[in-house]
Amino acid sequence: MPRPVKNVLFIMVDQLRWDYLGCTGHPTLQTPNLDRLAGRGVLFDRTYVQSPICGPSRMSYYTGRYVSSHRSTWLMVPLPLSERTMGDYLRENGRNLSLIGKSHFLPDRKSIERLGGLSDPDRSEYAMEGGFESIARDDGIFGRGPIQTKYADYLRANGYDSPNPWHDFANSAEGPDGEILSGWHLRYAKEPARVADQHGETAYTTDRAIEFIEGKGDDPWALHLSYIKPHWPYVVSAPYNAMYGPADVIPANRASSELTSANPVYKAMADRQESREFMRDEVREAVVPVYMGLIKQLDDHLGRLFAVLEGQGRMDDTLIVFTSDHGDYLGDHWMGEKELFHEESVRVPMIIYDPRAQADATRGTTSTQLVESIDLIPTFLESLGFDGAPEALEGKSLIPLLHGKDVQWRETVFSELDYAFHADVRKDLDRSVDECRGYMAFDGRWKFIFWEGFPPMLFDHESDPNERVDLGQSNAHSAVCKRMEKVLFSWLRGLKNRTTVDNKFVEEWRDKEFQIGQW
């Protein structure tokens, strides 16, 4: 057994697709700091999230369970009170999990009310935060009305005076006559944000992390450092707003045939406003360079953070993960935003740095094993030398892969979508709110997407790695679809549902006392 690591740093960014880093192959975007981290760790190049949208994806990261298991199926759906989180698993082993930035966690207030409230204020706070010790939580996305957040206070303290400086400064630009050009409109993307880079969300979040890590000194810690960017609003401070231009934008991955012979669910999603916007070249040419600028900004600030880690000796004792909660279509497949299961949406970058000698042999390598977001909790627990919870956790520790072990690995990754909250799509498709489920099963070659009530989608990565040809209704591929349906059925049956007792209890139980006696 290798010695445990001392600390865990779990860095997540929001809405960063897998192919928008230097080390994952972007031809014009520069991310030297993350590339360097990948050079010292392993790049897990085929990492998939359990739902390609913030809330459910994050709840899978934070519970180690598929969406059908943790049941927070969409942004607005609180995590049921019974679900244990990453913070719980660490705390059971005596370690707090601190949070700086976004978690998207919604507490199950209805259950708490039904139960008459919690008695311990500390634990109540903890339950309301999903097991995180909130150092500086900031979920990032606000409207235009007044807000009270630590970051808003920080902006006001730095001279950005407004009831909502998040909107009016950090996420808006300024017109020639001083008017606010809201970042909610894509047309202003190219203009610089009204905050200096040093006061932007990414800088602020990084500053808090540096404070936290320096403050801990040699004490052990676990930190979820969770950036809101490059999530929209697509606005970035100078000089990042002008760092990339239309010439740096990779061509849209789309074919006109995708829209003409479309699956009904895909068609309804491609008909949403954000998709219609991103179909237009002028939108891509304005927005994508800014998306790239936001990533470059992130990389620069991560460079500051990594320097502190190095200076403090933390690169010797800290497991570092860098990943994202989902991608961003950016006009590919004629889509904006995320939620569907194309690579641009469901595949994320994942870099893991393990400081221990056992990981030396894999440094700088790329793993093509199929990885899921639910793998992180088992990875953290194993790296820290903590116990797991096989009755609930559905992922696999990545430590054996990091240590170059020859292990049997999974053959298929799964992802889910509940599109019930999209009234427009639901209406288009004539579905009730209980009938809006989709599932993806991807085995490295075949990506099979099952839609409740509609034909499936199917992509063959061997002949069509860009996923432009949907074979879901091709007679020649019905056998593949049938096989993948079986895989999905088997997966559904295997979801872990006996979570209120641990497996050891089950294994050791004997019913002698309460069994019918012998004759």
Helix (H) / strand (E) element for 322: namely strand 318-324
Pick the piece of the chain touching its own copies (CB under 8 A) from 13-21, 44-52, 338-346, 413-421.
413-421
Q: How far apart are CA 80 and CA 78, in angstroms?
A: 6
Report the residue from 277, 285, 428, 464 that binds its own copies according to the rule CB under 8 A: 277
Find the shortest distance in angstroms from Cβ 172 to its own copies.
11
Site for its own copies contains 489 (CB under 8 A): yes
317 binds its own copies (CB under 8 A): no
- Name the DSSP class of 166: I
Peptide bond into 251 cis (omega under 30): no
Among 84, 199, 284, 338, binds its own copies (CB under 8 A): 84
CB of 95 to its own copies, least distance (A): 15
Q: Does 285 bind its own copies (CB under 8 A)?
A: no
Give the integer Cα–Cα distance in Å for 239 and 231: 18
Residue 344 touching its own copies (CB under 8 A):
no
Question: Could you tell me the smallest distance in angstroms from the CB atom of residue 510 to its own copies?
Answer: 6
177/507 with CB nearer its own copies:
507
* Rounded Cα–Cα distance for residues 194 and 166 (Å): 10
Does 463 participate in binding its own copies (rule CB under 8 A)?
A: no
The residues in 348-387 that bind its own copies, with binding defined as CB under 8 A, are none
- Hey, is 275 helix, strand or coil? helix
Does 500 bind its own copies (CB under 8 A)? Our answer is yes
CB of 401 to its own copies, least distance (A): 22
DSSP symbol at 168 = I
Taking the complex as a whole, how short is the minimal distance between the CB of residue 507 and its own copies, in angstroms? 6
Tell me how far, at minimum, the Cβ of 508 lies from its own copies, in Å: 8
Q: Is the dihedral of CA 96, 99, 392, 383 positive or negative?
A: negative
Binding residue for its own copies, selected from 117, 176, 178, 217, defined by CB under 8 A: 117
Q: Report if residue 184 touches its own copies, rule: CB under 8 A.
A: yes
As a whole number of angstroms, the distance between CA 63 and CA 84 comes to 6
- Spatial distance between the Cα atoms of 297 and 205, rounded to a whole number of angstroms: 12
Nearer to its own copies, 76 or 247 (CB): 76
Are 394 and 496 in contact by the 8 Å Cβ rule? The answer is yes
From 74-82, 312-320, 368-376, 471-479, give the range in contact with its own copies by CB under 8 A. 74-82
Task: Based on the shown chain and the rule CB under 8 A, indicate whether residue 250 belongs to the binding site for its own copies.
Answer: no
Helix (H) or strand (E) holding 137: strand 133-137
Instruction: Choose among 421, 452, 447, 387: nearest CA to 56.
Output: 421
- The answer to the question of residue 139 lying near its own copies (CB under 8 A) is no
User: What is the amino acid identity at position 1?
Assistant: M
Burial of 212 (0-12, 13-18, 19+ CB in 10 A): middle
Report the nearest approach of its own copies to the CB of residue 445 (Å): 23
* Interacting positions 8-67 with its own copies (CB under 8 A): none
C-beta closer to its own copies: residue 120 or 406: 120
Number of residues that bind its own copies (CB under 8 A): 85
CA-angle at 134, arms to 398 and 11, nearest 5°: 35
Does residue 115 bind its own copies (CB under 8 A)? yes
Q: Is 201 in the site for its own copies (CB under 8 A)?
A: no
What whole-number distance in Å separates Cα of residue 198 and Cα of residue 132? 27
Apex CA 53: angle with CA 48 and CA 54, to 5°? 105
Helix axes 281-311, 32-40, angle to 10 degrees: 50
Is 273 a binder of its own copies (CB under 8 A)?
Answer: yes
Residue 360 Cβ vs its own copies, minimum distance, rounded to whole Å: 34
Choose the stretch contacting its own copies; rule: CB under 8 A; options: 166-174, 209-217, 262-270, 433-441: 433-441
Instruction: Confirm or reject binding of residue 122 to its own copies (CB under 8 A).
Output: yes
Is 71 a binder of its own copies (CB under 8 A)? yes
Stretch that binds its own copies, among 248-256, 299-307, 362-370, 509-517 (CB under 8 A): 509-517
Question: Mind spelling out the 3-state secondary structure of 464-498?
Answer: CCCCCCCCCCCHHHHHHHHHHHHHHHHHHHHCCCC
CA dihedral sign of residues 93, 398, 54, 485: negative
Of 81 and 242, CB closest to its own copies: 81
From 1, 119, 217, 251, residue interacting with its own copies (rule: CB under 8 A): 119
Does residue 492 bind its own copies (CB under 8 A)?
Answer: yes
478 makes contact with its own copies (CB under 8 A): no
499 binds its own copies (CB under 8 A): yes
Q: How many CA atoms lie within 13 A of 409 on its CB side?
A: 22
Contact 450, 456 (CB under 8 A): yes
User: Cα(71)–Cα(258) distance, rounded to whole angstroms?
Assistant: 32
- Please, what is the minimum distance in Å from the beta carbon of residue 153 to its own copies? 22
The answer to the question of residue 514 lying near its own copies (CB under 8 A) is yes
Which member of 146, 159, 179, 187 binds its own copies (CB under 8 A)?
A: 187
Task: Enumerate the β-bridge partners of residue 335.
Answer: none
Region binding its own copies by CB under 8 A among candidate stretches 107-115, 194-202, 260-268, 473-481: 107-115
Q: Which helix (H) or strand (E) holds 343?
A: helix 343-346
Provide the sign of the torsion angle of the four alpha carbons 10, 11, 17, 20, taken in this order. Answer: negative
Q: Is 427 in the site for its own copies (CB under 8 A)?
A: no
